[in-house]
Chains A and B, each alone.
Chain A
Amino acid sequence: MAWLFLAPTIVGMGVFTLVPIVASVLLAFFRWDILSAPQFAGLDNFAEMATDPTVRVAFGNTLAFVVVAVVLQLGVALGLAVLIQDRLPNWLRVFFRSAFFFPLILSAASVSIFMKYLFNEQFGVVNWLLGTVGIPAVPWLTTPFGSACVVALVYVWQNFGFSFLLFLGALSAIPQETYEAASLDGATGWRKHRYVTLPLISPTTLVASVMAIINALQVFDQPYVLTRGGPGDSTRTAVMVIFETAFQQLQFGKASAIGVVLMLVIMAVTALQFRLSKRFVFYQ
């Protein structure tokens, strides 16, 4: 009986998730261009990706992006969540919360399109704003470092609201008495946050950081629309390489191998989360 209830979900997942995972892992050991029959290739695909400079650069870019984007995203989100928490008129709090949440509803593609114009070297509003305070025009999208910065900034702009919401939930769960007790003990300002807020929200910080890392590891839309991976390979990401290897170079085995490695990285991050949550996170 129960199986009738489960059928749509389980059959769908079997066909479109579980079978593809197994197929992907198997395919990673084959050479295949769709046109001819797949040939067993052993570990060749993995060896090839390890020596392929494009793949290595893309993984390096992705890791650097993850570090920068996640630190920025969590920092901005936590800072703003703390600022919004206390003694603000209610209508202002609602306004700011909606404003920070807003970019989450937009598509990364359309955000990247208008951001591309905002960061234009000659006509862009960003350089115009910098110009008004005397900073010369920055070649944002035409230099490797500038492009990498824009991709990270645009990504964080769109996604910090998610971490912000998580932190907001955690902060509102801290009982006010804890702060009163801390003030009685002489803690003020910064020390209050260091010794009360941070430990009390550590479970959320862990969840927020792991979710941010997993999402950032899969970044594709922003660099694809903003820069197509360039200039050079400066904004090419792991997922972009999977896309290009499979659907432009028709090396489906190698693309699967890259995908499997990415999946292993994501699983390792999740496993690490469970480890860390046992050791470092302070539960009330």
Chain B
Amino acid sequence: MTTTATPVPATPSNRRARSGSPVQQDRSPRPWATRRRRPLDWSLAGRIAVLILAAALTLGPVLWTLSTSLRPPADSLKLPPAFLPLNPDFSSYAQVFKQVDMALLVLNSALVTGLIALGQMFSAALAGYAFAFLKFKGKGALFSLVLATMMVPVQVTIVPVFMLIRGMGLSDTLLALILPAIPTAFGTFLMRQYFLGLPAELAEAAAIDGASPFRIFRSVYAPLAMPGLAIVGILAFNFHWNEFFRPLILTISEQNFTLPLGLVSLQGNMGTGSISVVLAGVVLSMIPALIVFLVGQRTLRDGLTAGAGK
């Protein structure tokens, strides 16, 4: 982790050996993994007990949320709490769609998140490619400037961004959420690292064949960079699907709300002595994130920790 300029998905690289070739298995950094298990190891048992407790504390609240959303609404506050969804009751889910325009919230969130992800993948790929392979004046300084913007918290720029959006006539539109989120310093950094990990000879060969820089990018490097682009896309999805602060400020009318805002307002609608409807909304909002987690777990993990070792 201390060495610099490794290609992007480098983080727990040795874990890759598991499913890899037998040659790599010999170099496994965990010789203990193949050792015979000992009869009874109290320290290991204690360790696993602590880990199980930690996992229960981590997953317990989520399990309770899912389970309670499936209880009959009248039982939602009953103690002892439900942890296993026996006899699921889906009436709260139907209720969610009556109380808020769930379809609209999902559509808004999907539109905003999807367009931001696509925009980030497109712009970061282009800029990352330029920083990795093209020569131009002031490259080093410009790259440092791009990296420096990573340090600026969104709250510092939110007032001027709000003004700017107003000035552009985009107040209270979904575009107000999308446009400012597309230029991405982290994505640019990630893609630059990824391109640097690809051989430069391909460009030379293609240039000799008379291909233009755009053509080389589009036909040679962009297809090779798909795994890197997936990281940028999944990270963008995860972050913006869950985003709360900017939508809270930049959208005003409920027809432009995204899911997290809609959920908080759903919570405001409740005074019925039942929480299962609110929790059903929470569960519904988690489903896309959960799918991304299941499909792209490693990609997301590598993306989150990429750049931490720089």
Interface set of A (CB-CB < 8 Å, partner B): 1-13, 15-21, 23-24, 27, 34, 76, 80, 83-84, 86-88, 90, 92, 95-96, 98-110, 113-115, 117-118, 123, 125, 128, 157, 161-162, 165-166, 168-170, 172-173, 175-176, 203-204, 207-208, 211, 214, 217-218, 220-221, 224-225, 239, 242-243, 246-247, 252, 255-256, 259-260, 262-263, 266-267, 270, 283-284
- A166 CB contact (under 8 Å) in B51, B180, B185, B305: B305
Q: Are B308 and A114 in contact (CB under 8 A)?
A: no
A267/B151 contact (C-beta < 8 A), A107-B285, A110-B286 known: yes
Q: Are A109 and B263 in contact (CB under 8 A)?
A: yes
B47 at the interface (CB under 8 A from A): yes
Which residues of A lie under 8 Å from residue B59 when comparing CB positions?
A: 99, 102
Q: Are A109 and B54 in contact (CB under 8 A)?
A: no
Which residues of A lie under 8 Å from residue B92 when comparing CB positions?
A: none
Closest 3 CB pairs of A and B: A12-B183, A107-B242, A20-B160
Q: Are B245 and A221 in contact (CB under 8 A)?
A: yes
A172/B15 contact (C-beta < 8 A), A20-B160, A166-B308, A204-B309 known: yes
A-B contact count (CB 8 A): 281
Q: How many whole Å from A8's CB to the nearest CB in chain B?
A: 4
Q: CB-nearest residue of chain B relative to A8?
A: B123
A87/B32 contact (C-beta < 8 A), A8-B123, A9-B188, A247-B249 known: yes
A1/B304 contact (C-beta < 8 A), A16-B180, A27-B159, A108-B244 known: no
| CB neighbors of A among B167-190 (8 A) | 179-180, 182-185, 188
Q: Are B15 and A266 in contact (CB under 8 A)?
A: no
Q: Are A128 and B80 in contact (CB under 8 A)?
A: yes
Q: Are B279 and A114 in contact (CB under 8 A)?
A: yes
Q: Are A19 and B183 in contact (CB under 8 A)?
A: no
Q: Are A203 and B2 in contact (CB under 8 A)?
A: yes
Distance between Cα atoms of A129 and B116 in the complex (Å): 42
Distance between Cα atoms of A208 and B275 in the complex (Å): 37
Q: Are A165 and B286 in contact (CB under 8 A)?
A: no
B241 at the interface (CB under 8 A from A): yes
Q: Are B149 and A13 in contact (CB under 8 A)?
A: yes
- A242 CB contact (under 8 Å) in B151, B155, B180, B286: B155
Which residues of A lie under 8 Å from residue B130 when comparing CB positions?
A: 2, 5-6
Q: Are B308 and A211 in contact (CB under 8 A)?
A: yes
Which residues of B lie under 8 Å from residue A173 when comparing CB positions?
A: 1, 14
Which residues of A lie under 8 Å from residue B1 when comparing CB positions?
A: 169-170, 173, 203-204
A102/B58 contact (C-beta < 8 A), A8-B123, A172-B29, A284-B2 known: yes
- A169 CB contact (under 8 Å) in B11, B30, B180: B11
Which residues of B lie under 8 Å from residue A18 when comparing CB positions?
A: 149
Q: Are A16 and B164 in contact (CB under 8 A)?
A: yes
Q: How many whole Å from A232's CB to the nearest CB in chain B?
A: 22
Which residues of A lie under 8 Å from residue B135 when comparing CB positions?
A: 2
Which residues of A lie under 8 Å from residue B263 when comparing CB positions?
A: 109-110, 113
Distance between Cα atoms of A18 and B308 in the complex (Å): 24
A8/B182 contact (C-beta < 8 A), A118-B61, A242-B155, A259-B156 known: yes
Which residues of B lie under 8 Å from residue A34 when comparing CB positions?
A: 163
Q: Are B245 and A220 in contact (CB under 8 A)?
A: yes
Interface set of B (CB-CB < 8 Å, partner A): 1-2, 11-12, 14-15, 18, 29-33, 35, 41, 44, 47-48, 50-51, 54-55, 57-59, 61-62, 64-65, 77, 79-81, 119, 122-124, 126-127, 129-130, 134-136, 139, 142, 146, 149, 151-164, 179-180, 182-185, 188, 213-214, 217, 238, 241-245, 248-249, 259-261, 263-264, 267, 275, 278-279, 282, 285-286, 289-290, 292-293, 297, 300-301, 304-305, 308-309
Q: How many whole Å from A26's CB to the nearest CB in chain B?
A: 9
Q: CB-nearest residue of chain B relative to A202?
A: B2
Distance between Cα atoms of A101 and B12 in the complex (Å): 14
Q: Are A263 and B12 in contact (CB under 8 A)?
A: no
Tell me the interface secondary structure of chain B in the complex: helix
Distance between Cα atoms of A90 and B252 in the complex (Å): 49
Distance between Cα atoms of A204 and B135 in the complex (Å): 33
Q: CB-nearest residue of chain B relative to A269?
A: B151
A169/B305 contact (C-beta < 8 A), A6-B127, A21-B156, A109-B244 known: yes
Distance between Cα atoms of A187 and B242 in the complex (Å): 46
Q: Are B64 and A118 in contact (CB under 8 A)?
A: yes
A105/B55 contact (C-beta < 8 A), A204-B308, A263-B152 known: no
Residue of A246, A252, A255, A259 with most partner-chain B CB within 10 A: A259
Q: CB-nearest residue of chain A relative to B267?
A: A113
Q: Are A239 and B264 in contact (CB under 8 A)?
A: no
Distance between Cα atoms of A86 and B50 in the complex (Å): 14
Q: Are B289 and A106 in contact (CB under 8 A)?
A: yes
Which residues of A lie under 8 Å from residue B55 when comparing CB positions?
A: 95-96, 99-100
